[in-house]
Amino acid sequence: MTSPASPAPSSISASVEELKALFGVSTTQEGLLAAWRPTLTPHLTDLAQRLSQELDATPLTREWRIRGGAPLLKGVEEFLNELIQGVFDTPYADNRLGLGRFLAARHVPLALPMAAAARLVALLHDTCQSLPSPKLTTGQAAPVPDWRRLLQWELHLVAEGMLQGAVAPQQQARRDAEAKAAALEHRLEERTRELLRLTSLDPETGLCIPALFQDHLRQELARSSRIHDPVTVVLFDLNNFGQWLQSRQPEDGARILAIVGDVVRQTFRESDIGCRHGDDEFAVLMPRATAEQAMEVCRRLIKNFKKRPVDGMSFSLGVAQAGPKDYPSPESLLVGAETALTSARHHARKEPGFYIRRASRTASGG
């Protein structure tokens, strides 16, 4: 299954608020960061040291050092301090673009900030889980911030800055040699598309982010309403994943998530769009596929998953097909699939295993 097409490039002249909406960085997340800031601040030095030590030990970092790279991530603690301030405005975005240009000037490969972002998600989540939850102004315990969404937003800005830093000498050469302009622009477009493709993927599974999935879902339903092709959505989640993780190491959870992403790509068609829909919930959009066809693919998904080292993990699946009267809108189609998934979960709670349920063909309206 190939990665879905990415949204149009975002220069920083575009609205920062639009970028935040694309990556799900809401005012709620900013408020949670404000609540957690006093609790997390004393632990930032330790977090920075752990991340730096882990990345310094990777073969990629060692290879970069051999080529003359400086000690990695000296500014990690400063980076984390800025992140937990939770003020994601235009100056903040400019700062992250500047960091990307700084890294590009020092020939840091994009794979390093990508690895750092993926590891930071786990470190920050585990640190929050180990600390007492702060109180919101309402007196309720503050939930853990969605570090995955926040680090995807960070990685997008840094990667865009790295692109800008990488192409600056070529832009100067284009001004000096107009004859080379067409070829250079073509190269820049390819690199931009690749960077946007990478930053539109969930780093732990390689599946697309929810905002991009929603865009494709709206487009496919609009196309389906014109030419009357079927569109089917599959929702599935890992059964008792949180409870399973309690008796294992964090890297075990990361391994299972990576296996899920790999098996989804192995099983579904290239035209299908796989998405990490939540912490342990996933969605697949299947254009031009009926619910019956999707059910058969789900059975192959289960078969392929069982072949992997998954330590007894299983999942439940819900399938819903859109039609002129059945689930005609993105919202109703997802609700239909979620209803079917809830039924499958119910059976999994009574007797562990893999269960697939299909939504009824009841008209759901808009």
Closest CA to 91 of 16, 11, 166, 33: 16
Strands 315-322 and 231-238: antiparallel
Query: Average pLDDT of the chain?
Result: 84
Q: What is the dihedral of CA 192, 197, 198, 200, to 10 degrees?
A: 120
**Mean pLDDT, residues 228-242 taken together:** 93
**Mean pLDDT, residues 209-216 taken together:** 90
Closest CA to 231 of 336, 142, 84: 336
Q: What share of the chain is helix, strand, coil (3-state, %, to 5)?
A: 60, 10, 30
- The proportion of the chain whose per-residue pLDDT surpasses 70, expressed as a percent, equals 84
Give the pLDDT band (50/70/90) at residue 9. Answer: very low
Max mean pLDDT among 43-52, 71-80, 163-172, 285-294 falls in: 285-294
More confident call, 293 vs 20: 293
DSSP H or E run through 59 = helix 59-66
What CA–CA distance (Å, rounded) separates 158 from 160? Answer: 5
Closest CA to 230 of 358, 327, 300: 327
Q: For the chain, which residues make up each domain, given as ranges?
A: 16-199, 210-358
pLDDT tens, residue by residue, 86-136: 888 888 888 888 888 888 887 888 888 888 888 889 999 999 999 999 998
- 210-358 carries CATH number 3.30.450.20: no
What CA–CA distance (Å, rounded) separates 104 from 161? Answer: 8
pLDDT value, residue 305: 96
Query: Based on C-alpha coordinates, what's the Rg of the chain?
Result: 22
Give the pLDDT band (50/70/90) at residue 366. Answer: very low
Q: Which neighbouring-strand residues pair with 233?
A: 285, 320
pLDDT value, residue 347: 93
Evaluate if residue 214 carries a pLDDT over 60. Answer: yes
Please indicate whether the domains covering 16-199 and 210-358 agree at the CATH topology level.
Answer: no
The SS3 assignment for 363 reads coil
Q: Cβ of 59: how many Cβ atoms within 10 Å?
A: 7
Q: Can you read off the two tokens belonging to residue 130?
A: 């180990």
What CA–CA distance (Å, rounded) separates 278 from 263? Answer: 17
Q: In CATH, what number does 16-199 get?
A: 1.10.490.10
pLDDT value, residue 258: 94
Evaluate if residue 274 carries a pLDDT over 90. Answer: yes
Strands 281-287 and 315-322: unpaired
107: exposed, middle or buried (Cβ count in 10 Å: 0-12, 13-18, 19+): exposed
Closest CA to 2 of 232, 244, 268: 268
Closest CA to 312 of 243, 263, 264, 262: 243
Cβ(358)–Cβ(269) below 8 Å: no
pLDDT tens, residue by residue, 317-347: 999 999 777 888 899 999 999 999 999 999 9
The pair phi, psi for residue 88, each rounded to 5°, is -95, 70
Closest CA to 206 of 268, 160, 248, 158: 268
DSSP H or E run through 356 = strand 355-358
The pair phi, psi for residue 249, each rounded to 5°, is -85, 155
DSSP H or E run through 320 = strand 315-322
Cβ(6)–Cβ(190) below 8 Å: no
Q: Can you read off the two tokens belonging to residue 169?
A: 């000498």
